Chain A
């Protein structure tokens, strides 16, 4: 099982991680705002995550840490 951690307050909600995820685990939290005023990405289905780190590879703000 893999663990994906977001530095949520640095997220700009661009959604590139959501599009990159092959298992559709991630989503944008439309009902939340972070410190910057963006709706951040979050892990919706942790059990489906395979730890491929595609999300972190496409994240332009380096806010994702992946453990496996």
Chain B
């Protein structure tokens, strides 16, 4: 019998500390599979965020560094400019990338830094206990919006992919989801493309992965993935928002 599916070699044996049913594990695995397939384990350098994925450095076998909150694209910029032959990626959540790290994200995209950004959007601050994030949906109940997000008071959630796609800078901006098998397979294709762009020297690639947070949404893992389909994807549609080499987007 041939092995059809096994744990990728670029993941360590350490058990994930994530809550049961948290799609972070799926997204870690997709990144590791892409690193395996491209044969870049020896020269990949990952930048971990502050957030639930703060300990991502325990899980990948490639070199990893932990950046201050939101500063992963700035740290990755420095690494890539010093070591242009290495493949540098960041792995960030929505609290990290879209809130405190928005400036670093927008400017590294505008400069078209040759890095890969994996952006996990689960519409909430996970690690700190479920506070409202810049990506929380209108009416979404969180610890800091117990009556639901009031857009008159808190503003509207930010669609990061659409916003970055308006810039001249970035090479590739896409949004994917991991709520079912089909979307997971498509997410892997987008992540692979983002790494290939960097290897080919094309520039800034960002893949926004619409994820779930069963614990802080107060749902079962199954219900959380259904909520992604019914509530998140209508506000955050899947798609390629910018692909300069293919001539899509601006």
B123 to chain A, nearest CB (A): 18
Which residues of the partner chain A approach B15 to less than 8 Å between Cβ atoms? 10, 61
Size category of the binding interface on chain B? 20 to 34
Fill in one digit per residue for B22-52: 1 if any A CB lies within 8 Å of its CB, else 0: 1111100100000000000000000000000
Which one of B3, B16, B22, B221 contacts A66 once the chains associate, using CB atoms below 8 Å?
B3
Which residues of the partner chain A approach B214 to less than 8 Å between Cβ atoms? 14
Question: Which of B4-12, B102-110, B143-151, B240-248 lies at the binding interface?
Answer: B4-12
Which one of B5, B20, B21, B24 contacts A64 once the chains associate, using CB atoms below 8 Å?
B5
- Asked whether A57 lies within 8 Å of B181 as measured between CB atoms, the reply is yes
- Asked whether A60 lies within 8 Å of B18 as measured between CB atoms, the reply is yes
Cβ of A27 < 8 Å from any Cβ of B? no
- Asked whether B2 lies within 8 Å of A67 as measured between CB atoms, the reply is yes
- Asked whether A67 lies within 8 Å of B1 as measured between CB atoms, the reply is yes
Nearest CB in chain A to that of B29: its residue: A62
Cβ of B206 < 8 Å from any Cβ of A? no
Considering the chains assembled together, what is the distance between the CA atoms of A68 and B29 in angstroms?
21
Which residues of the partner chain B approach A56 to less than 8 Å between Cβ atoms? 5
- Asked whether A19 lies within 8 Å of B222 as measured between CB atoms, the reply is yes
Which one of B1, B3, B20 contacts A14 once the chains associate, using CB atoms below 8 Å?
B20
Cβ of B225 < 8 Å from any Cβ of A? yes
- Asked whether B7 lies within 8 Å of A60 as measured between CB atoms, the reply is no
Considering the chains assembled together, what is the distance between the CA atoms of A26 and B227 in angstroms?
23
Cβ of B83 < 8 Å from any Cβ of A? no
Considering the chains assembled together, what is the distance between the CA atoms of A58 and B25 in angstroms?
9
Which residues of the partner chain B approach A12 to less than 8 Å between Cβ atoms? 19-21
12 A-B interface contacts by CB (under 8 A): A12-B21, A13-B20, A51-B4, A57-B181, A59-B25, A60-B18, A60-B22, A61-B25, A62-B16, A65-B5, A66-B6, A68-B2
- Using CB atoms and an 8 Å cutoff, list the residues of chain B in contact with chain A: 1-8, 11, 15-16, 18-26, 29, 180-181, 184-185, 214, 220-222, 225
**A-B pairs, 7 with minimum CB distance:** A60-B25, A14-B21, A12-B20, A53-B5, A14-B20, A67-B1, A66-B5
